[in-house]
């Protein structure tokens, strides 16, 4: 199975900050990497697919980059509605493993 490791596990940031979350795969997954946002009590929401493609309707302050084993989700200017938990997921093969999540909290 491909292991997905996110860092950090949590972070505290202020509105307006630039936030970067990294995700590392245990083997190359090419560009088969997706990012999700989850708020308490809600289903996850797709933000970025194919490593760098912005899902329709998602604000442009979200961006993704990377290929192979190392990937990054960046929020260019954190907004109040962005405080949530973020997960990466590989879709290179099954099982479609998720990272352990990164909780973004208010500083």
Partner 1 sequence: QVQLVQSGAEVKKPGASVKVSCKASGYTFTSYYIHWVRQAPGQGLEWMGIINPSGGSTSYAQTFQGRVTMTGDTSTSTVYMELSSLRSEDTAVYYCAREGPMSAPLGYWGQGTLVTVSS
* Residues that bind partner 1 in the complex, under the rule CB under 8 A: 1, 31-34, 36, 38, 43-46, 49-51, 53, 55, 87, 89, 91, 94-101
Are 36 and 29 a contacting pair, CB within 8 Å?
A: no
Q: Identify the residue whose tokens are 């997960």.
A: 87
Q: How far apart are CB 53 and partner 1 at their closest, in Å?
A: 7
Q: How far apart are CB 77 and partner 1 at their closest, in Å?
A: 24
Closer Cβ to partner 1, 13 or 98, answer by number: 98
**Residue 32 vs residues 40, 67, 76, 96, 103: alpha-carbon distances, Å:** 26, 8, 23, 10, 22
């Amino acid at each position: 199975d491909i292991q997905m490791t996110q860092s950090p596990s949590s972070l505290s940031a202020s509105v307006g900050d630039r936030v970067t979350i990294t995700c590392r795969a245990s083997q190359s997954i090419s560009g088969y990497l997706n990012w999700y946002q989850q708020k308490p009590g809600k289903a996850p929401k797709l933000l970025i697919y194919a490593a760098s493609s912005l899902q329709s309707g998602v604000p442009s302050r979200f961006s993704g980059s990377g290929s192979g084993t190392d990937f990054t989700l960046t929020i260019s200017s954190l907004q109040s509605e962005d405080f949530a938990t973020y997960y990466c997921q590989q879709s290179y093969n099954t099982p479609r493993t998720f990272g352990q999540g990164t909780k973004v909290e208010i500083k």
